[in-house]
């Protein structure tokens, strides 16, 4: 991990953002196990360097699409922990007023065009918002997060081809966490690197260590520069690993114990912490302060979610249409 281009402040900021995701998802997992929230959650634990590294390389006006494993993407793009936690609880104060839940969190104001419950569905949406930027002549670019599983969906290929042909300002960031639910990528894919597929569309394909935040940040910054200069899309593949199951409660019987242990040795937060302390030995107090502040933020988020009301029954039929003027619709 090369810390040179980044100052201590930058590294501490990266660490804080990664820790927000880690503690948010560990808390959500704990609450879920206690039966305190409905539905299902897919945690981002282990992959934090990808979302934070990517979003730190973007500008505030840039856009992202996220996935069913999207808590990390939304927090990294500036999402609020309390509003997100409230959504996980199905409360009226949540990002989607309780109508979306974990898999549909969006904040259009922050450029988060939504998590998505359908594998790969964010990829063409990202191409579309990039097309909008191109037509409007805007500076903003779009980054699509998706997993290794999505790279085997047809829409991945359609969208990459179209975005390449039109030189759209978009970054396709594949988070290869090695498993599509229970199936190892090696069993369903005949190539070592998904990034190789970029060749088929005439765009750069880059493999990056997804547990090294600085490597991710630099790769995304380069792709963003290319997109902003009108040179078109880049396919990035961040090699990473999810520490927990596909969903909470998944016993992960399909993963070898040694594999999990080896990847935990490469925990992205531990690595960044070591990098920071190696370069800035006096940062220990700052790191402790960050941990306390993030713990307080997450605790406050849980209190906010628990204290918030459930949605009013009448809201079940609102927001289907922008103009709710058709009484035959609500009947």
Binding positions for another protein, rule: CB under 8 A: 63, 65, 94-100, 104, 106-108, 113-114, 116-118, 121, 123-136, 142, 154-155, 158-159, 161-162, 165, 318-323, 325-326, 328-329
Contacts of 108 (CB under 8 A, 6+ apart): none
Q: How far is the CB of 320 from another protein (least distance, A)?
A: 5
Q: How far is the CB of 165 from another protein (least distance, A)?
A: 7
Q: How far is the CB of 28 from another protein (least distance, A)?
A: 19
Q: What is the dihedral of CA 187, 220, 290, 248, to 10 degrees?
A: -20
Q: How far is the CB of 280 from another protein (least distance, A)?
A: 40
Q: How far is the CB of 57 from another protein (least distance, A)?
A: 20
Contacts of 127 (CB under 8 A, 6+ apart): 142, 144, 159, 162, 163, 168, 170
Cα–Cα distance measured from residue 38 to residue 252, given in angstroms and rounded to the nearest whole number:
21
Q: Is 329 helix (H, G, I), strand (E, B) or coil?
A: helix
Compare residues 154 and 251 and give the one whose CB is closer to another protein: 154
- Output the DSSP codes for 254-294: TS-HHHHHHHHHT-HHHHHHHHHHHH-GGGHHHHHHHHHHH
Closest CA to 46 of 179, 170, 138: 179
Q: How far is the CB of 82 from another protein (least distance, A)?
A: 15
Compare residues 33 and 320 and give the one whose CB is closer to another protein: 320
Q: How far is the CB of 317 from another protein (least distance, A)?
A: 9
Cα–Cα distance measured from residue 271 to residue 48, given in angstroms and rounded to the nearest whole number:
12
Quick one: 71 exposed, middle or buried, by C-beta within 10 A (0-12, 13-18, 19+)? buried
Compare residues 158 and 193 and give the one whose CB is closer to another protein: 158
Compare residues 52 and 155 and give the one whose CB is closer to another protein: 155
Would the CA dihedral through 262, 153, 134, 74 be positive or negative? negative
Compare residues 4 and 327 and give the one whose CB is closer to another protein: 327
82 φ/ψ sector (left φ>0, alpha ψ -120 to 50, else beta): alpha
Compare residues 92 and 286 and give the one whose CB is closer to another protein: 92
Compare residues 13 and 228 and give the one whose CB is closer to another protein: 228
Own/partner contacts of 317-320, CB < 8 Å, gap of 24 or more, are 319/97, 319/99
């Amino acid at each position: 991990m090369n810390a040179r281009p980044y100052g201590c402040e930058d590294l501490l900021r990266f660490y804080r953002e990664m820790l927000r995701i880690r503690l948010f998802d560990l808390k959500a997992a704990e609450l879920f196990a206690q039966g305190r929230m409905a539905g299902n959650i897919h945690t981002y634990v282990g992959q934090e360097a990808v979302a934070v590294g990517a979003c730190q390389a973007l500008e505030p006006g840039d856009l992202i699409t996220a996935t069913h494993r999207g808590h990390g993407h939304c927090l990294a793009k500036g999402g609020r922990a309390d509003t997100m936690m409230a959504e996980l609880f199905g409360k009226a104060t949540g990002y989607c007023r309780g109508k979306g839940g974990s898999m549909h969190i969006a904040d259009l104001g922050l450029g988060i065009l939504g998590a998505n419950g359908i594998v790969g569905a964010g990829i063409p949406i990202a191409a579309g918002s990039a097309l909008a930027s191109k037509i409007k002549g805007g500076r903003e670019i779009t980054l699509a997060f998706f997993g290794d599983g999505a790279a085997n969906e047809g829409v991945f290929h359609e969208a990459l081809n179209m975005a390449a042909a039109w030189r759209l300002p978009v970054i396709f960031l594949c988070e290869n966490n090695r498993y599509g639910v229970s199936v190892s990528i090696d069993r369903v894919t005949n190539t070592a690197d998904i990034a190789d597929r970029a060749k088929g569309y005439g765009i750069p394909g880059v493999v990056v260590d997804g547990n090294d935040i600085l490597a991710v940040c630099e790769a995304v910054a380069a792709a963003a520069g290319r997109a902003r200069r009108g040179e078109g899309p880049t396919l990035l593949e961040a090699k990473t690993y999810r520490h927990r199951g596909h969903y909470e409660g998944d016993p992960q019987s399909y993963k070898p114990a040694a594999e999990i242990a080896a990847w935990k040795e490469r925990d992205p937060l531990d690595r960044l912490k070591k990098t920071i302390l190696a370069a800035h030995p006096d940062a220990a107090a700052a790191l402790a302060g960050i941990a306390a502040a993030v713990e307080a933020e997450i605790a406050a988020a849980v209190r906010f979610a628990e204290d918030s009301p459930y949605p009013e029954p009448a809201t079940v039929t609102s927001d289907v249409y922008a103009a709710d003027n058709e009484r035959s619709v609500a009947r």
